[in-house]
């Protein structure tokens, strides 16, 4: 018995070594970009860091064309100084035009199927040809992949856009009651700008987008308020002219009530928002006019939210997940719908926000 144990141990140590992935011998693809060339071919970009101090660039961009994403990467191995691996992918970027014409799943499949690839990468839609982003020259920024990630994350925290990693995109695309969305990125005057939200339909194709100013309202509808959502609202009614008031929404109570009447879905979305006033362009006597101001703010917020919902309905997408409520409360009717997105487009959605000013600053 003992001899067998020793023999087993010896054999045991012969195994191993072939699964090694030495960090020094790898080219880490931190960003993968997908685009279409003018003659309809798939272009695969990959950005990886270069650690050699003698080289001028701190990252390299490899562009290949291929039939599929993995095919493109295999070809890229001919250029790269080490084996390309996707275990640390931070961003997967597709161009808007590419996303408009192609089902995303057929190109993202390799990320989901191959467990060596990271599925926590951010999924991003780029407004414009990817060439513009990939060969951008950022002087005062870190490596491009890190810069893209940081820009998206910062914009997401301040609710200028949203955030969707590959896993979330996958879940939303497969859920009958929801449609996927992704943050938008563009290059403006040689700078990276993140803002707006790309909307995908049930066929995983890009159909339209919400602007940067609509993004915070999208967040509120998503009940995603923390840490705080900043809004600047134009209101009329306190004084004669138009006034601008900036608020930061600190917390909110939501209740979305679905019902099915006369062949359409109805949603009553009630929300109580606790806000802090951070700026006002006019003098307001808060002691007297707080209640009135709260009502005016609520009205303006309601207007904006309804605009966002309308836009979503015209695109026939439901990234917020009203479908989840419909499925939970009106299951039979939900199941009868062939396409939830179509039903959502016809649904009647009433939004009733109430605003409570919990603080109006240290002035007065």
Partner 1 sequence: MMNSIQQTLTHSLDMNEQTLRDYFTKTPDLVYCHLLIGEPKKRALLVYLNTLVDKNSINNNIIDPLLFETKQINTIVDIQLPIGAKSYSTKWEHVIQRIFQGETALLLDGDDHVLLLDTQGWPQRAIAEPQIESSLKGSHQGFIETCEKNIALIRRYLPHQQLKIEETTVGRRGHTSVALLYLEDVTHPEVLQELKDRIEQIDVDTVVNTGELMQHIEDNPFSPFPQFLLTERPDAAVSNLLQGRIVIIVDRSPSVMIGPMTFITFFQTVDDYSTRWMIASFLRLLRLLAFFMAIFLPSAYIATLSFHYEIIPLNLLLTVGESRERVPIPPLLEAVLMELAIEMLREAGLRLPAPIGQTVGIVGGVVIGQAAVEAGIVSNIMVVIVSLTAIASFIIPNPDMSESIRLLRFPMMIIASLFGLVGMAIGLMLIIGHLISLESLGTPEGSPFAPARLRDWKDTILRFPLWMMRTRPLSARPTQLTRQKKFRK
Considering only the stretches 50-58, 153-161, 197-205, 261-269, report the one whose residues sit in contact with partner 1 under the rule CB under 8 A.
Answer: 50-58
Closest CB 56 distance from partner 1, rounded Å: 15
Task: Choose, by CB under 8 A, the member of 49, 72, 180, 195 that binds partner 1.
Answer: 49
Considering only the stretches 23-31, 207-215, 287-295, 331-339, report the one whose residues sit in contact with partner 1 under the rule CB under 8 A.
Answer: 23-31
Phi, psi dihedral angles at 30 (to 5 degrees): -95, -25
Considering only the stretches 46-54, 161-169, 216-224, 269-277, report the one whose residues sit in contact with partner 1 under the rule CB under 8 A.
Answer: 46-54
Helix axes 69-76, 104-113, angle to 10 degrees: 60
80 sits near partner 1 (criterion: CB under 8 A)? no
28 sits near partner 1 (criterion: CB under 8 A)? yes
83 sits near partner 1 (criterion: CB under 8 A)? no
Query: Cα dihedral sign for 339, 341, 342, 348?
Result: positive
Number of helical H runs and strand E runs in the chain: 12, 14
Closest CB 325 distance from partner 1, rounded Å: 37
Evaluate whether 323 touches 333 at the Cβ level (below 8 Å): no
Q: How far apart are CA 49 and CA 272, in angstroms?
A: 47
The residues in 216-255 that bind partner 1, with binding defined as CB under 8 A, are none
Helices within the chain (DSSP H only): 2-14, 69-76, 96-101, 104-113, 130-134, 144-157, 166-174, 215-221, 286-315, 322-329, 331-336, 340-346
Considering only the stretches 82-90, 172-180, 190-198, 271-279, report the one whose residues sit in contact with partner 1 under the rule CB under 8 A.
Answer: 82-90
Question: Nearer to partner 1 by C-beta: 21 or 203?
Answer: 21
User: Site map for partner 1, 137-176, x if CB under 8 A?
Assistant: ------x--x--x---------------------------
User: Site map for partner 1, 99-138, x if CB under 8 A?
Assistant: -------------------x--------------------
Question: Nearer to partner 1 by C-beta: 143 or 156?
Answer: 143
Q: How far apart are CA 361 and CA 279, in angstroms?
A: 8
Task: Choose, by CB under 8 A, the member of 6, 10, 11, 20 that binds partner 1.
Answer: 20
Task: Choose, by CB under 8 A, the member of 88, 132, 176, 266 that binds partner 1.
Answer: 88
Antiparallel, parallel or unpaired: β 181-188 and 191-200: antiparallel
Question: Nearer to partner 1 by C-beta: 80 or 357?
Answer: 80
Measured in whole angstroms, the distance separating CA 259 from the mean position of its chain's CA atoms is 29
Give a three-class secondary structure readout of 238-259: CCCCCEEEEEEEEEEEEEEEEE
From residue 360, give the alpha-carbon distance in Å to each of 215, 261, 289, 290: 24, 42, 12, 9
Would you state the structure tokens that stand for residue 286, as one six-digit string?
Answer: 């808060």
Task: Choose, by CB under 8 A, the member of 31, 46, 90, 165 that binds partner 1.
Answer: 90
Considering only the stretches 19-27, 173-181, 220-228, 297-305, report the one whose residues sit in contact with partner 1 under the rule CB under 8 A.
Answer: 19-27
Would you state the structure tokens that stand for residue 162, as one six-digit string?
Answer: 């949203």
Task: Choose, by CB under 8 A, the member of 7, 37, 87, 289 that binds partner 1.
Answer: 87
Closest CB 28 distance from partner 1, rounded Å: 7
Task: Choose, by CB under 8 A, the member of 22, 38, 241, 364 that binds partner 1.
Answer: 22
Q: How far apart are CA 35 and CA 145, in angstroms?
A: 17
Considering only the stretches 83-91, 226-234, 292-300, 355-363, report the one whose residues sit in contact with partner 1 under the rule CB under 8 A.
Answer: 83-91
Question: Nearer to partner 1 by C-beta: 15 or 362?
Answer: 15
- Tell me which residue of 319, 303, 316, 307 sits closest to 352, measured CA to CA: 303
- Tell me which residue of 132, 188, 197, 185 sits closest to 161, measured CA to CA: 197
Residues near partner 1, by CB under 8 A: 13, 16-17, 19-24, 26, 28, 30, 49, 51-53, 85, 87-88, 90, 118, 143, 146, 149
């Amino acid at each position: 018995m003992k001899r067998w144990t020793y023999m087993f141990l010896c054999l045991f140590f012969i195994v191993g070594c072939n699964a090694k992935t030495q960090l020094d011998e790898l080219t880490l693809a931190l960003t993968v970009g997908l685009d279409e060339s003018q003659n309809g071919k798939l272009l695969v970009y990959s950005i990886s860091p270069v650690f050699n101090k003698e080289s001028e660039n701190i990252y390299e961009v490899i562009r290949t064309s291929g039939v599929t994403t993995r095919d493109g990467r295999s070809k890229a191995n001919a250029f790269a100084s080490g084996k390309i691996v996707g275990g640390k992918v931070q961003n997967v970027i597709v161009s808007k035009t590419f996303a408009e014409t192609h089902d995303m799943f057929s190109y993202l499949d390799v990320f989901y199927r191959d467990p060596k690839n990271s599925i926590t990468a951010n999924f991003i839609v780029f407004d414009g040809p990817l060439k513009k982003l990939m060969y951008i020259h950022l002087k005062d920024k870190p490596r491009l992949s890190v810069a893209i990630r940081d820009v998206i994350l910062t914009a997401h925290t301040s609710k200028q856009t949203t955030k969707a990693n590959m896993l979330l995109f996958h879940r939303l695309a497969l859920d009958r009651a929801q449609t996927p969305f992704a943050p938008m990125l563009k290059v403006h005057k040689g700078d990276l700008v993140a803002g707006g939200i790309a909307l995908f339909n049930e066929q995983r194709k890009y159909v339209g987008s919400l602007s940067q100013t609509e993004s915070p309202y999208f967040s509120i509808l998503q009940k995603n308020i923390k840490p705080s959502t900043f809004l600047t609202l134009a209101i009329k009614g306190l004084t004669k002219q138009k006034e601008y008031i900036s608020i930061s929404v600190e917390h909110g109570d939501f209740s979305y009530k679905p019902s099915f009447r006369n062949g359409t879905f109805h949603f009553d979305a009630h929300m109580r928002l606790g806000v802090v006033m951070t700026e006002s362009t006019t003098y307001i006597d808060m002691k007297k006019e707080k209640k009135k101001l709260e009502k005016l703010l609520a009205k303006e917020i309601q207007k904006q939210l309804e605009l966002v919902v309308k836009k979503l309905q015209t695109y026939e997408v439901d990234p917020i997940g009203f479908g989840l409520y419909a499925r939970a409360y009106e299951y039979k009717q939900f199941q009868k719908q062939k396409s939830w997105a179509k039903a959502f487009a016809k649904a009647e959605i009433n939004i009733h926000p109430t605003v409570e000013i919990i603080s109006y600053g240290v002035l007065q």
